[in-house]
A and B are shown apart, each in its own frame.
Chain A
Amino acid sequence: MRLAAKSVGWAAGSRRIVQEVSLEIAPGETFGLIGPNGSGKSTLLRLLAGLLARPSGVVLLDGDLLTSLGRRDIAQQIAVVEQIAETSEALSVLDVVELGRTPWLSALAPFSAQDRVIVAESLAAVDMADMAGHSWATLSGGERQRVQIARALAQRPRLLMLDEPTNHLDIHHQLSLLRLVGDLPVTVVMALHDLNQAMRCDRLGVMEAGRMVACGLPEDVLTPARLASIFRVRATRLRDPADGATVFRFQCLEE
């Protein structure tokens, strides 16, 4: 799934949240969006998924204008996991994951045995198969996050958009989620806060005040100068003696 954005932007009233972002994401790529709070990461994700009204610029999905596709067509290709998912309905975990099949079902194509298999596989992928019968309301934040990711997987998308997917997760599930996402044969675009986790992406885009100020390989993008100016931290590169990987240690830069 090739995703291309050409000078996309979005404004809430007179306040520009995202402006003039252009990028191209290759099939199978894992693309990370980083940036401080309020830099427009979430809004850019929603723009790329076609979820915002009155955007500027264009988004192309395999060469087709996103605005020319129906919601159902888009949902068969793109699954989105937003930061906040709340419901007052007394849904079970299984109910929530089954929602992921919505774009593939209709009155003429009801929920089938194959859909049941896909839902079960999706639950297993996030380690939640044992909890299928649990009520959503009783889950912890991390469990809810995993269930939403299972829901997105059940959509069988070619492009997965995740907004801070490791939020609320314990360290084990953070790492296993990132490995799962990396192993999936789909294109992934995700907003991340943890820069060490961002290092595992194929490419990174850095957002600042609604603009994409850098885009490229993680080691090229995460320079000490940029980390100081955008994230206001001093970064020290360390080498893990176990496998030679680079990790960052951060210290807060005073104003």
Chain B
Amino acid sequence: MTDAAAPGVFRRSFGLWIAQGPAVLILAILAGVVIGETPLPLSTVAAVFANRLWDAGLILDPIDAGIIWSYRLPRTLVAAGCGAGLALSGVVLQALVRNALADPYLLGVSAGAGAGAVAVTILGVGGGLLGISGGAFIGATLSFAVVAALARAAGGGSAQLVLAGIAGSQLFNALTSFLIAKSANAEQARGIMFWLLGNLSGVRWPDVMLAAPVAMIGFLICLWFARAMDAFSFGVSSAASLGVPVRRVQIVLIGVVTLMTATMVSLVGSIGFVGLVIPHAMRFVVGPRHARLVPASALAGAVFLIAADIASRMLIPGQVVPIGVVTALVGAPGFALILVHSRRRL
């Protein structure tokens, strides 16, 4: 009884929640811009926005203006896009695979993206035409193809997919380590390790122009398929008998997940636990229906990663902690909670 009643309480307030969503996101972005080693007052932030967006011509310290506009704002926006994208990827994979443990990290997509990015950076694969993002995207697609093929050969169940994902992750992580050990000098190796743990330091406006549209398109496609994802609750065959063109939906959604994960990993490195923990946390808040789960997870993922980025900048004065470390420090206990809860539910 309590199980049934608890989500209901939250569900009734969902309309309010949705209305507040954009406001919460804007507040989080403002926090990401204001908070930093040099705290900058909101008035300065407002002045920078006025100058940039409406040519207000207000007199400002150019260093403050630079920190806000060229450094913190793009960084925060990319954090939001990545958080939303990774959380959405988790929602989609958990729905399609019907396994609570599915996330882009576990299914090898992140590891593949990392290996692809490293192959481009160190080996110069693609002769400079690909770029880090292109390499990450190809790596992500390749690793998911390997994982999917392996799972299919193993019998095609969701447990097989998770096991295949573990094998694929190990393979591509080993490939990454091998490339680093073989070809990188100490300086490159350190830079790459730092990048792999997740790092938003180098993020600039062109990265926003990539992360924001990808997250937005991914969000809209996930929302479009919300009902189809609901139909997967009782499995693939049940989805088909409810009129869902299963194969087409799987291809589109997994394509979107690969695109989102590859883009995000190529920009900021592989950030774990967001795709796993955020969707589960949101299930407790808004329930399992995807029409609510999709927007709630996108929002929570965005806000969570902005907060994690702030923490990564502020935790140790004068030093940036890799954001992947922060998300794992929060995510691992969160994951433990999910494990305990899922045991109780069975």
A and B are partners in one complex rather than unrelated chains: yes
Contact between A107 and B241, CB atoms less than 8 A apart? no
Q: Chain B: which residue is nearest A79 at the CB level?
A: B241
- Mark out the residues of chain B between 1 and 44 whose CB falls within 8 Å of any chain A CB in the assembled complex: 1, 3-5, 7-8
Q: Choose among B233, B237, B242 the residue that contacts A89 (Cβ–Cβ < 8 A).
A: B233
Residues 89-113 of B, flagged 1 when their CB comes within 8 A of A and 0 if not, give 0000000001110000000000000
Asked if B8 and A75 make an inter-chain contact with CB atoms under 8 angstroms apart, the answer reads no
In this complex, the member of A73, A90, A155 whose beta carbon has the largest number of chain B beta carbons within 10 angstroms is A90
- CB <8 Å contact, B243 and A102: yes
Residue-wise, chain B 203-241 has the 8 Å CB interface mask toward A (1 for contact) of 000000000000000000000100110110111011011
In the bound complex, residues from chain A placing their C-beta under 8 Å from that of B7 are 90, 92
Say yes or no for B134: interface residue by CB 8 A criterion.
no
- Closest residue of chain B to A76 (Cβ to Cβ) is B243
B157 CB within 8 Å of chain A: no
Instruction: Name which of B61-69, B135-143, B163-171, B281-289 contacts chain A.
Output: B281-289
**CB < 8 Å neighbour of A72 from B238, B243, B287:** B243
A175 at the interface (CB under 8 A from B): no
Q: Are B246 and A71 in contact (CB under 8 A)?
A: yes
Whether B4 lies near A138 (C-beta < 8 A) is yes
Docked Cα-Cα span, A70 to B241, in Å, equals 11
Q: Which residues of A contact B237 (CB under 8 A)?
A: 46, 51, 82
Say whether B345 faces chain A, with CB atoms less than 8 Å apart.
yes
Beta-carbon contact of B243 and A74 below 8 Å: yes
B245 sits at the interface (CB 8 A): yes
Closest to A78 in B: B241
Q: Is B244 an interface residue (CB 8 A)?
A: yes
Contact present for B231 and A99 (CB under 8 Å): yes
Give 30 pairs: A residue, B residue, CB < 8 Å, sorted on A.
A46-B237, A71-B243, A71-B245, A71-B246, A72-B245, A74-B243, A76-B243, A82-B237, A87-B98, A87-B233, A88-B98, A88-B342, A90-B3, A90-B283, A91-B233, A92-B4, A95-B230, A95-B289, A99-B234, A99-B242, A102-B227, A102-B231, A102-B242, A102-B243, A102-B244, A105-B227, A133-B5, A135-B4, A137-B345, A138-B1
Contacts A75-B242, A88-B98, A137-B3 aside, 17 further interface pairs with beta carbons under 8 A come to A49-B241, A71-B240, A75-B241, A86-B235, A87-B234, A90-B3, A91-B288, A95-B287, A102-B227, A102-B244, A103-B243, A106-B227, A133-B8, A134-B4, A137-B345, A138-B1, A138-B3
Residues of B in contact with A (beta carbons under 8 Å apart) = 1, 3-5, 7-8, 98-100, 224, 227-228, 230-231, 233-235, 237-238, 240-246, 283, 287-289, 342, 345
Closest 8 CB pairs of A and B: A75-B243, A103-B243, A72-B243, A89-B288, A135-B4, A80-B241, A102-B242, A135-B3
